[in-house]
Amino acid sequence: MKAFLVRIKDKPAQEITAERLSAREALQSLQVGGLDRVAAVRVNGVPCDLSCDLGNEATLEPIYVHTEEGLGILRHSTAHVMAMAVKELFPGIKVTIGPAIENGFYYDFDYERPLKEDDLPAIEEKMEEIVEADLPFTRQEMSSQEAIGFFSDQGETYKVELIQDLGAESVSLYSQGSFTDLCRGPHIPSTGMIKAFHLTHVAGAYWRGDENRPMLSRVYGVAFSDPKNLKKHLRQLEEAQKRNHVKLGPQLGLFNTYEEIGAGMIVWHPKGAMLRHVLETFEVQEHLKRGYELARGPQLLKTELWKKSGHFENYRENMYFTEVDEQSYGIKPMNCLAHMLIYRSEIRSYRDLPKRYFELGTVHRHERSGVLHGLFRVREFTQDDAHIICTPDQLNGEIKGVLDFVKDIMGFFDFEYDLEISTRPRKSIGSDQDWELATGALIRAMEDNRLEYDMNEGDGAFYGPKIDVKLKDALGRSWQCATIQCDFTLPDKFDLTYVDKDGERHRPVMIHRVILGAVERFIGVLIEHYAGAFPTWLAPVQAVVLTVTDRNIPFAQNVTKGLEDADVRVEGDFRNEKLGFKVREAQVQKIPYMVIIGDKECENNQVTPRLKNGQNLSPMPVKELIDRIKDECEQRR
- Strand-pair partners of 6: 14, 58
Q: How far is CA 505 from the centre of its chain?
A: 42
Q: Give CA–CA dist 442/422, Å, rounded.
A: 10
Q: Name the band, by pLDDT with cuts 50, 70 and 90, for residue 2.
A: confident
For the annotated catalytic residues, the residue numbers are 336, 365, 383, 385, 387, 466, 512
Q: Give CA–CA dist 505/501, Å, rounded.
A: 9
Q: To the nearest whole number, what is the mean pLDDT of the chain?
A: 94
Q: Taking the alpha carbons of 316, 97, 468, 249 in that order, is the dihedral positive or negative?
A: positive
Residue 6's pLDDT is 84
Q: Which residue has the higher pLDDT, 79 or 637?
A: 79
- Strand-pair partners of 434: none
For domain 69-242, which architecture applies? 2-Layer Sandwich (3.30)
Residue 627's pLDDT is 96
Q: Give CA–CA dist 601/547, Å, rounded.
A: 10
Number of helices and strands (H, E) in the chain? 19, 32
Q: Name the band, by pLDDT with cuts 50, 70 and 90, for residue 462.
A: confident
pLDDT tens digits, one per residue of 316-355? 999 999 999 999 999 999 999 999 999 999 999 999 999 9
Contact 482, 383 (CB under 8 A): no
Give the largest Cα separation in the chain, rounded.
Answer: 101
Residue 609's pLDDT is 96
Report the share of the chain in percent with pLDDT over 70.
100
- Count of residues for the chain? 637
Residue 13's pLDDT is 82
Which sequence spans correspond to the domains of the chain? 2-64, 69-242, 261-299+332-530, 543-634
Residue 540's pLDDT is 97
What are all long-range contacts of 267-274, with beta carbons under 8 Å and residues at least 24 apart? 270/540, 271/540, 271/541, 272/523, 272/540, 274/540, 274/541, 274/569
- C-alpha separations of 275 from 144, 249, 521, 532, 536 in Å: 57, 11, 13, 11, 11
Query: Which helix (H) or strand (E) covers residue 580, if one does?
Result: helix 579-588
What are all long-range contacts of 268-275, with beta carbons under 8 Å and residues at least 24 apart? 270/540, 271/540, 271/541, 272/523, 272/540, 274/540, 274/541, 274/569, 275/523, 275/534, 275/538, 275/539, 275/540
CATH code for the structural domain at 543-634: 3.40.50.800
Contact 339, 361 (CB under 8 A): no
Q: Name the band, by pLDDT with cuts 50, 70 and 90, for residue 514.
A: very high
Residue 402's pLDDT is 95
pLDDT tens digits, one per residue of 576-620? 999 999 999 999 999 999 999 999 999 999 999 999 988 999 999
For domain 2-64, which architecture applies? Roll (3.10)
In terms of Cα–Cα distance, which of 180, 175, 148 is closest to 161?
Answer: 148
Contact 356, 512 (CB under 8 A): no
Neighbours of 531 (CB within 10 A): 17
Residue 147's pLDDT is 95
pLDDT above 80: residue 211: no
Tell the CATH superfamily of the 261-299+332-530 domain. Answer: Bira Bifunctional Protein; Domain 2 (3.30.930.10)
Residue 426's pLDDT is 85
Q: Name the band, by pLDDT with cuts 50, 70 and 90, for residue 207.
A: very high
Q: Residue 22 — φ and ψ, nearest 5°? A: -90, 165
pLDDT tens digits, one per residue of 6-36? 889 878 888 888 888 998 998 998 888 899 9
